[in-house]
Amino acid sequence: MSDVALNDIRLDIAGLPGNAGVQALRQQAADVFARTGLPGKRAEDWKYTDLSRLSAVLGESWWVTAAQTEPADVHVIDDLDAYRLVFVAGQFQAEQSNLPTGVQMLPLADFLANDTAERGHCLFHVDESAPLFNGLMAANTALASDGLCACIGDDVQLDKPLYIIHNGSSTAHVLNGLMLGRNAKVTLIEHFVGAGSDAALSNIATYLRLGENAELRHYRLQLESDKQFHIGRVEVKQARDSRYILHAVELGAQLSRADIVVDLAEPGASCALHGLFVASGRQHIDHHTRIDHNAPHCRSRENYRTVLDGRSHAVFNGKIVVAEGAIKTDSAQSNGNLLLSKNAGVDTKPELEIYNDDVKCAHGVTVGQLDEDQLFYLKSRGLSTEEARQLLTFAFADEILTAMDIPAVRRFIEHKAFAKLPNMTDLEGLLG
């Protein structure tokens, strides 16, 4: 056996959950991965994010998962009234979880254990033509150990948020699928957290389908340990008049990349993506968003704010594609970047591809430091330099924080985000 064969992802599939149909799809995904490999720096969408670090740090077989016996001692949002699904190292923990009753919702592994469909579950179909497709998605499909598998029926409104905690410090591939029926309404909170002292990879894919007039509020909170690599994919497909609202928060990991892909497939669908990055040290955070306006009268909003300290680096790429028939498209994108240190940097780019004339598309980017005039104004009122800087930094993120409609989540993020910045001392007073 050559080294190449030893490093073949296909060898790791046996033993993963799924019937013959699913196993076959896993193998297909592995074939795709064997062909595409990791995205390289020459790929346009990976120009600023260097994944060679992944294999350099984790080794040639960077995808290999490891069982984790002890869940790390981590902070989660305690004062949140929610249904909880806890995963440790990519495995569902039944005794720490409470699922809603009366809806179709299972951990993926449990679902697969009883899956009789011969063709293999649709979550395992790899679509190479999907926007921002890359080899990590194929690896995710091939190697997914567990996740959420849920279909929320027509007219069902979950009375409490679904709070998924991914506690992991070892490598895991997690695959989530959530479908909302007609008029269904759900809040989904994905919280990634870990406390590992060794580097590992979290490879998380979340596929979301919104039925007619459905509403999904999605919090995606990335607070991994500062050693972790985090690769995320969120793919949303929206039917007529459905509403998707994302609050994406990036605080953790040494390298974090998320691709957010939204298909406004039918008339009247709308999405709003709110992003907040707070990075320091040598953190690297990258979001590529892609919104396809494929039908008339759809609306998209994007507002991303990044606060960068130390030698951290952020990438924001917001691509919006308006199809020929998508008249009366209403789209706006804004990306603000606050550099607290002169060694921090950002690469940001709006990309518009518009194939009809009847559209409203606005976009704006700012990159700057704290405003000297504002600082002086506050100091002249008696605020210390430190306090003035903190307040202005906080104010910069204010729009994103106030958009969060669950107070417990917002408070948690406020504290986590600003406590991690050096010089953020008297937080209590600041958040008063």
Partner 1 sequence: MLKIENLHASVAGKKILKGINLSIGAGEVHAIMGPNGSGKSTLSNVIAGRDGYEVTAGSVTYQGNDLLAMAPEERAWAGVFLAFQYPVEIPGVNNTYMLKAGVNAKRKHQGEQELDAIDFMQLVKEKAKLVELDQSFLSRGVNEGFSGGEKKRNEIFQMAVLEPTLALLDETDSGLDIDALRVVAHGVNALRSPERSIIMVTHYQRLLDYIEPDFVHVLVDGEILKTGDKSLALELESRGYDWVKAEAAA
C-alpha 132/C-alpha 233 separation (Å) is 9
Residue in 377, 419, 423, 425 binding partner 1, rule: CB under 8 A: 377
Kindly state the smallest distance separating residue 278's Cβ from partner 1, in Å. Answer: 15
User: For residue 119, which amino acid is it?
Assistant: R
Nearer to partner 1 by Cβ, of 180 and 392: the residue is: 392
Q: Is 366 in the site for partner 1 (CB under 8 A)?
A: no
C-alpha 241/C-alpha 329 separation (Å) is 13
Nearer to partner 1 by Cβ, of 192 and 394: the residue is: 394
Q: Interacting stretch for partner 1, rule CB under 8 A, among 87-95, 134-142, 332-340, 375-383? A: 375-383
Residue in 395, 407, 423, 425 binding partner 1, rule: CB under 8 A: 395
Tokens of 108: 């993926």
Helices (H), 346-384: 372-380
Residue in 157, 366, 384, 425 binding partner 1, rule: CB under 8 A: 384
Q: Is 428 in the site for partner 1 (CB under 8 A)?
A: no
Return the number of other C-beta atoms located less than 10 Å from residue 186's C-beta.
23
Q: Interacting stretch for partner 1, rule CB under 8 A, among 52-60, 152-160, 349-357, 388-396? A: 388-396
Q: Is 321 in the site for partner 1 (CB under 8 A)?
A: no
How would you classify the pairing of strands 104-107 and 148-152?
A: antiparallel
Q: Is 387 in the site for partner 1 (CB under 8 A)?
A: yes
Closest CA to 248 of 273, 266, 231: 273
Q: Is 382 in the site for partner 1 (CB under 8 A)?
A: yes
Residue in 160, 379, 411, 415 binding partner 1, rule: CB under 8 A: 379
Nearer to partner 1 by Cβ, of 110 and 399: the residue is: 399
Q: Is 342 in the site for partner 1 (CB under 8 A)?
A: no
C-alpha 103/C-alpha 58 separation (Å) is 39
Residue in 60, 353, 358, 371 binding partner 1, rule: CB under 8 A: 371
Q: Give the up-direction half-sphere exposure of residue 347: CA atoms within 13 A in the CB hemisphere.
A: 13
Nearer to partner 1 by Cβ, of 60 and 398: the residue is: 398
What pairs with residue 273 in β-bridges?
Answer: 246, 302
Residue in 376, 405, 407, 425 binding partner 1, rule: CB under 8 A: 376
Residue in 398, 407, 423, 425 binding partner 1, rule: CB under 8 A: 398
Helical axes 385-402 vs 372-380, angle rounded to 10°:
120
Local structure of residue 153 (DSSP, 8 states): P
Distances 111 to 19, 376, 394 between C-alpha atoms, Å: 11, 59, 43
Kindly state the smallest distance separating residue 413's Cβ from partner 1, in Å. Answer: 16
Q: Interacting stretch for partner 1, rule CB under 8 A, among 158-166, 336-344, 383-391, 417-425? A: 383-391
Return the number of other C-beta atoms located less than 10 Å from residue 72's C-beta.
17
371 touches 338 (CB < 8 A): no
Nearer to partner 1 by Cβ, of 104 and 385: the residue is: 385
C-alpha 316/C-alpha 277 separation (Å) is 10
Return the number of other C-beta atoms located less than 10 Å from residue 98's C-beta.
14
Q: Interacting stretch for partner 1, rule CB under 8 A, among 74-82, 312-320, 322-330, 396-404? A: 396-404
Kindly state the smallest distance separating residue 375's Cβ from partner 1, in Å. Answer: 9
Q: Is 368 in the site for partner 1 (CB under 8 A)?
A: no
C-alpha 297/C-alpha 311 separation (Å) is 42
Closest CA to 306 of 351, 353, 256: 256
49 touches 286 (CB < 8 A): yes
Nearer to partner 1 by Cβ, of 355 and 376: the residue is: 376
- Report the site for partner 1 in 241-260 (rule: CB under 8 A): none
Residue in 78, 118, 324, 373 binding partner 1, rule: CB under 8 A: 373
Applying CB under 8 A, the residues found at the interface with partner 1 are 371-374, 376-385, 387-388, 391-392, 394-396, 398-399, 429, 432
